Amino acid sequence: MTENNEDKNTEELTDEQQEIIDMVAKIFAPLDMEVTNMNEQPKQTIDEEYMKNKKVDGPTLQIRTMSDGGTGLMHLQGYGGVTINREYGFAAKYKMPHDVGMYLAALKPKFQSFATDSVAYVRNVTVEKYDDGYQLVIAGSNTADMIEGIDNIFKFNFSNQWRLNMHFQLCNELIDFVEQNNAYIQCEGKRPTQGVETSEE
**Angle, CA of 192, 134 and 32, to the nearest 5°:** 125
Would you state the pLDDT for residue 184? Answer: 92
Would you state the pLDDT for residue 72? Answer: 84
pTM across the whole model: 0.72
Beta-carbon-side half-sphere exposure of residue 116 (alpha carbons within 13 Å): 9
The continuous run of DSSP H or E covering 79 comes out as strand 73-79
Would you state the pLDDT for residue 150? Answer: 67
Would you state the pLDDT for residue 38? Answer: 45
194 close to 158: Cβ distance less than 8 angstroms:
yes
Would you state the pLDDT for residue 20? Answer: 59
Q: Which residues contact 66 (CB under 8 A, 6 or more apart)?
A: 104, 105, 120
Would you state the pLDDT for residue 25? Answer: 47
What is the maximum alpha-carbon separation in the chain? 60
Domain spans, the chain: 2-186
Would you state the pLDDT for residue 68? Answer: 76
What are the per-10-residue average pLDDT scores of the chain (201 residues)?
45 60 48 41 79 94 86 91 93 89 90 94 94 90 75 75 86 94 94 59 29
